[in-house]
Each structure stands twice: as structure tokens, then as C-alpha cells.
A and B are shown apart, each in its own frame.
Chain A
């Protein structure tokens, strides 16, 4: 039987299916609904511990603490809160602590337009923290997909022993759709890190294998950071999701993600590629893009993903930069027709 859920509700359902044991967060529009739904869930389900933190910096560190304490843990926030969480993400990356952060993007910069959808935090997920950093980033765009991807995000985070980001936006997290949750069998990777058993030392400092700080030895640092990047890239290959709607004989390829492709009408003139795993970007995109003369990225920011893709597929890319106002089939096809 199908039931109706919105984005925040289904995210909580999926997280519970992935056996999440801890949620900490701080109210922020438009991610507050996720916080509220987790609070509600923690009353019904004693396996879930819920904490409303004093700020987002505390929230991410509460999550880190819970993760080293032996539970799968997550937090949800929006742009300004995500900025505050960067130091915690960096720490979790350095110490190999698995966790999941949901960022419901809103129109920035700064306080911006808090209730409006945007895709302005794409590059912050990769380049936000200081130092070299890499994380797997998913961007689902339907209720069915949020359910599937949330569970996969936890699995990817456990396998990579590193933070994983789920990007949403106001439009997707407030979306209502039906879904059938009966008889679903999902993969559930176990959480292995439990404090109170061994003599581990986790540190934000560069350490050797025994956890002894090695702040003078670049050889150790180099080997460590290369191995970390390699591991995340390897794990991401198992979580390489995208949707590719191919039109025969089309010479244009439109790359778009999140709510935007839901408003792009199917046409003979172009094919549509929608990455669900935004970072690390699917290697298949390089082969697919070779079949097209023109590549157009449509995104709700000033061209962040196309900036990144230019170096990834080593080609020139046209950008259609839109706002939430342009989420309309007629407006979008007008803008596309201008470019092709």
C-alpha cells in the first residue's frame, strides 16, 4: 500500500531503516522540519537518541561524539549552519569518523532568502573545510529517491569511514509524494567504531599508525592523505548514481540536478543527464559528454557545478543560471532554446 510522505518525513523513516541511533541539530529554516520529525520519532522509538544542540558547531561535535560512541549518527542543517559545521567535518574526515550531514540548501549568501530553494552550497561540500578534504555528496530529487539515497549515504559513510553529505533544498524537502515502504530489503553496513574497548587515540593532528602525533614528517602526511583520498574515491565508485535520459540524434546535453530536471520537458533536441552522486562525479559522464557537441548546465546558482565540470570533463560548458522563480517548464524551455 502506498502512503504519502514529505521529504523530511521520509528522510527520518529512511534513517531509522538504516538504524541511526543519534540525531543532534539546531533549528534553521528550511531544515527545521527534519529536526522536529526526529524529535517526534525519538518519543516513539527508544533506539533513537535526540538532542537539540546549542548551535550547529555543537551539533556536529555531538554527532562526532555519538559516532565514536558506537551509534550511527547524523545532523541536518541549512547553509549558514553548514558553514559553522565545517570544522567538525574536517575533524571527522581526519579522524575517519563516519557520519551523515543533511544540508537543505536555501538562497544565500548570509541570511539571504531563508525560505527559498537554491543550490549555492555545492562547492562548499568539497572545499568548505580547510586543508585537503573530500566527501561523497548525494542529491536526491524525489521521495522514493530520498528514501533510497539516505540509506545508501549511511552505508557509504561507514564504508569510507568519513562524513557523507546529503544535499536537499526547500523544494525537495517540502515535496509530498507517495511511496510504498512495505517489504523493502536494504543493505545495512554495520557501525564498528565503539569507544570503551581498546587503546585508540583519535587526533586532528597528523599521527602515525599508533596514534602518536607526527607533526614534522611530511612522508607520513603524504601517505596518509593520499590513502584517504583513494579510499573515498574507491567507495564512491560503488555509489555512483545518475539518471540519463537519452534522445537519439540529439547534439546537446543538459546536465541538471535536484528539483530543476523535474521542470525540463523531454525534447528531441537534447538529452538530460542528472547526477545523483554529485561528488565525486561519475566517470561515465566523461564518455557520455563526448557524444555531444554542446553541454549546458542548468543550476540554481551562479555556475558552481559548471565551474567544477569544466576541469572534470576538460571542455567548455554553457551555464544557465536560474533561481527558484525559474522553476517553470515554459520559462526553462525558453532559456534552453536561447542557448541551443
Chain B
């Protein structure tokens, strides 16, 4: 027998076996994702092709019937349109607000820590709670916005925020933007701090003013980061149920539904599981295309990436 040279065990222990260790440590997370995201997701896709209803266990193959039905449904088409408007509208707002806020937070000023804490609040507040607060802001009688405008002499009539389809959609966009923009600001701020200080100074010395620096130097360099922020925002907004459900419930007269609320109404409240699933799944291919596009853009414009 060869004498042992070290007090360490001569064989590989479990901790040495990175292949096994990795698999074991990833296992729980993988199981969680598969069971709680993957299975319902696959189930939803399957339901979309069925005539299943809530309250019965029958599962009949319906082919594309559900999709044909919703594509012929004006309420669905309106919801689809609303989804696009809300998502695009809120993200445009988010990009502008987040870029502006990031510029502010880059400067050093008194009370910056507190301001940053306040900034992050909308992101930390539960959606339902925030949406309820917003229903008060948009209330038909007590709306702070209306009373403020009135007191400032800027408003002569009265705005029925959640009663008018167009205004209700605008209200939804505002709340969605308000909810996402703190997160986007943090991302943009991180992106800004990754721009070398010397490049910004070179632009200053080269005679570029604030706007030229912003649009010709900083924003192009920020593009990959902003793309990621927008991607998150698009996914969060397009799949969000809470804000619309609490603010308008899809009303007035089904004019402000977005796909998630309509899917909930049809599938759960209306018990037509098949159609609800079809509506919910409908957006998926579009989101995938958007995601791939955004990530490619981010990669392509990344400094040092292939162009």
C-alpha cells in the first residue's frame, strides 16, 4: 500500500465533482420552473386548441376553432389593439422618463439617497395596491388631477378619466409607465456609469453641448442597455393583468381590455377555458419576436460587437 502523502481523502469527494454538484444544485430551480411555469404554459397552449370549460373535466380537440372565433371577435381585436397601444405607449414614456431621471441621478445633489429611495418605491409597491391608489387619482368625482388642473385654471370642463375609452387608455399607459420606469432608470443609470468618463469629457472639449452629447454620444452608447430595459418593460406590460383589471376592469363597455384581462374574463369568469387560453397565448409569438429582435439589437450595437 502506498503511504498517504496528505491528510486529504485520496478520492474525489462529492464537492470535487463539479458535474454532479452543478446538476444537484440546479435541480430545485429547474424543478420549480418546470412545474410552476413550464407545465401550466404547455397546458395553456394545449387548452387553446380545446373546447374545455371550467367545471367539467372533458377535453375535446377543437383545432383552430378558438383562434378563428377570437379573430372574428371585435372585442378581442380591440383588446389586441389596446395591448399594443398600452405597451408601446408606456415604453416610449418609460424610455424618455428613465433617461431623464438617470441624467438627474447622475449628478450629485443634497438628498440624493432619499430621492433614489422614493424613486424606487413604485417598483416595490404591490401592483394591486398601487392600482387602487391610482383609481382614486383618476376618480370621477375626487380626481386630484382634475382638481389640480381646475385650481390652476387649466381645466374648464371635467375629465372622466376612467369613464372615457380614450382617457382610460391614457390612464392605463400612465400607470404602466409609472410602474416600470424606476426599474428602467436604475438600468439606464448603470449603463451611464459604464460610459468611460473620458469619452464624455472628450465630447465636452470637442464642443458638444448637452443635447448633442446626449443624442450623439451617450444614447448611442446606451442603446444596448436601453434595449434590455425596454424588453423587460414590454414583457411586464404586455403580460400584466392587475393594472387594467383594477383600474377599469376592461370597461367602459369592454373598450379598454388588454389580452390578459380579456383572457381572464373569458377563461375564468366566463368559464370558456379554451378561448381564454387562446387569447392568453396569442401574444406569445409576438413577444418572442420582439425579444429576439431586441436582444439582437443589443448585441449588435454593443461596443466591440460585430457590426
A binds B: no
Interface residues of A (CB under 8 A from B): none
Interface residues of B (CB under 8 A from A): none
